[in-house]
Amino acid sequence: MSTSIHVSAGQVAATLALVALAAAVSFWRKADLERDIGIATIRSFVQLTAIGYVIKLIFEADTLWLVFALLTVMVLFGALTARGRAKKVPGAFWPLLIALAAAGTTTLGLVVALGVFEATPRYLVPVGGMVIGNAMTASAVALNRLGDEMADSRNRIEATLALGATGQEAALPIVRRALRSGMITLVDSTKTTGLIFFPGTMVGMLLAGANPTDAVRLQLILLYTLLGSVAIAGLVATTLAYRNFFTPAQQLRE
């Protein structure tokens, strides 16, 4: 599967024409996104360039400790970022941190144990990044939904608690819907992959000149891995986070 492709800075610069087009559309239609598009373009350039050098360093050092350190930082920033989407969930940081760590370690551990990938930086860094990124999105969406629904359903939850139900029983339908909303995007995109869109890894490999069969197989491995990771992240995040809405005496926190 080893391929290589050289991309010049000029080629990257040329695609800025499309960024300019996006800004022009926003300006013309008064979508008020020009500033955000500018920030997104600069941030993506700086962040990806920086991570490119970090990955190069890790590949050259060829040590798993650096991989572990990088993934730990990703989990930490992922949890902090996702917390911003889960403002209505009290104490959301720890459930998110544990969810991302659990998704990362379980998924990467399994694919290595099953012999899908070797335990080397070349595989663990990019796959780990995708796993943690998707887990972050899924758990952020799940907790966002959890927070909204818990706020909207306070009367119903308290009425159920008043019957002698535990917080877990009272919140169960909401936790279920929150988990579903966290997973549904990836499930739907997995359903339509190849029909409506080509996923990034496959496109990257094809552009790099890889055999299409290899590109498809690697993409399938990643899709299935990501399904597992978003399920674990969503499950852990919602299971830990819903508890923060209740006191030990099974009362709704004010």
Partner 1 sequence: MLFELRDVSLDRGGRRVLDSISVAIPSGPTAIVGPSGAGKSTLLRLLNRLADPDVGTVSYRGRALAACDPLALRCEVSLVPQLPALLEGTVGSNVAYAAQLAGKELDIERCLRLAGLPADFAERDVSQLSVGEQQRAMLARALAQQPEVLLLDEPTSALDHAARDAVEATLAELRRELEISVVLVSHDLEQARRLGEWVVRMKEGGVTEAGPLSEVLA
Task: Note the residues at the interface with partner 1 (CB under 8 A).
Answer: 155-156, 158-166, 169, 173, 249-252, 254
Eight-class DSSP state of 245: G
Q: How far is the CB of 170 from partner 1 (least distance, A)?
A: 9
Which residue, 165 or 184, has its beta carbon nearer to partner 1? 165
Burial of 97 (0-12, 13-18, 19+ CB in 10 A): buried
Q: How far is the CB of 247 from partner 1 (least distance, A)?
A: 8
- Integer CA distances (angstroms), 245 to 87, 155, 170, in order: 13, 13, 11
Which residue, 98 or 175, has its beta carbon nearer to partner 1? 175
Length of the chain: 254
Q: How far is the CB of 180 from partner 1 (least distance, A)?
A: 15
- Integer CA distances (angstroms), 112 to 3, 34, 85, 127, 183, in order: 22, 43, 32, 11, 23
3-state secondary structure 90-129: CCCHHHHHHHHHHHHHHHHHHHHHCCCCCCCHHHHHHHHH
3-state secondary structure 148-160: HHHHHCHHHHHHH
Q: How far is the CB of 218 from partner 1 (least distance, A)?
A: 43
Which residue, 13 or 249, has its beta carbon nearer to partner 1? 249
Terminal alpha carbon distance of the chain = 56
Q: How far is the CB of 166 from partner 1 (least distance, A)?
A: 7
Work out the number of other CB atoms within 10 angstroms of the CB of residue 172. Answer: 14
Which residue, 62 or 169, has its beta carbon nearer to partner 1? 169
Which residue, 56 or 156, has its beta carbon nearer to partner 1? 156
Which residue, 170 or 236, has its beta carbon nearer to partner 1? 170
Q: How far is the CB of 87 from partner 1 (least distance, A)?
A: 18
